[in-house]
């Protein structure tokens, strides 16, 4: 998908301000690690549910629109998942803001048109089929355009592999079952839930390393551009 949207003219590296991408990097990494912690806590609660065992009254969702009152542990799991959902939403906003920034920086630093149109920074995550590779492609394109010839960091592929595993499992960051249905699954067979949680934690941690790697090459190139300008200015004065 080539970018068909008119892009501003490329800027020299020396004119780019490194502070915004540094701040965006720090916020995004912090949010990713917080999301990892939230899913670790979620996994702990699922283990607690499995150890406690299903009550004699059966699962919370008893079918035909009938839901029994939740016990204390089940109620606290609802709270844990709600908090985790809030953290995931914040993480998504910060990650998208960072991704948009590094995409624009890569264009400005290289003068090349991005491989993916700007609309895919957001919609690439939700459009079926495209969401299987577009987000990774945008990250990879930003890195390769900024640092041509360098090998893509392993963390990018680990992040994306874990993300897909969590997403396709149906109980990762975006899950189809209701919380009560997940509670019932924890009672019946907790291991698939824990494997999915592990994939989300892996995606978040690897994502933090990927954010750091992509940002680092951009900061390096910006600094190199500023250094070249300073050297030229000094030579001119001499």
154-177 pLDDT, tens digit each: 999 999 999 999 888 766 566 677
Average pLDDT over residues 133-151: 96
Residue 21 in any domain: the answer is yes
Query: 47: domain range?
Result: 16-237
Number of domains observed in the structure of the chain: 1
CB 190 within 8 A of CB 46: yes
Give me the residues paired with residue 61 across strands: 67
Residue 5 in any domain: the answer is no
From residue 205, give the alpha-carbon distance in Å to each of 134, 169, 198, 210: 20, 19, 11, 9
Residue 208 in any domain: the answer is yes
Residue 196 in any domain: the answer is yes
Residue 10 in any domain: the answer is no
pLDDT of residue 133 exceeding 80, the answer is yes
pTM: 0.86
Residues 8-25: pLDDT tens digits? 444 555 567 788 999 999
């Amino acid at each position: 998908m080539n970018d068909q949207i008119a892009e501003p003219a490329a800027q020299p590296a020396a004119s780019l301000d490194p502070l915004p991408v540094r701040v965006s990097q720090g916020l995004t990494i912090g949010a990713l690690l917080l999301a990892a912690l939230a899913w670790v806590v979620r996994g702990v609660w699922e283990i607690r549910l499995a150890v406690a065992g299903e009550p004699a009254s059966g699962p919370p969702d008893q079918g035909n629109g009938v839901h029994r009152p939740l016990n204390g542990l089940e109620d606290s799991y609802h709270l844990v998942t709600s908090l985790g959902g809030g953290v995931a939403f914040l993480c998504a906003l910060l990650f998208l803001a960072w991704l948009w920034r590094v995409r624009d920086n890569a264009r400005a630093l290289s003068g090349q048109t991005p491989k993916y149109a700007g609309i895919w920074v957001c919609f690439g995550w939700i459009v079926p089929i495209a969401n299987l590779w577009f987000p990774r492609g945008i990250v990879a394109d930003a890195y390769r355009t900024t640092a041509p010839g360098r090998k893509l960091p392993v963390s990018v592929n680990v992040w994306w592999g874990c993300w897909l595993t969590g997403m396709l499992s149906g109980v990762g960051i975006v899950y189809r079952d209701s919380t009560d249905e997940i509670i019932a699954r924890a009672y019946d067979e907790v291991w698939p839930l824990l494997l999915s949680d592990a994939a989300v934690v892996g995606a978040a941690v690897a994502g933090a390393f990927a954010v750091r790697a992509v940002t680092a090459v951009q900061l390096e190139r910006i600094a190199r551009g500023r250094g070249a300008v300073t050297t030229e200015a000094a030579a001119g004065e001499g």
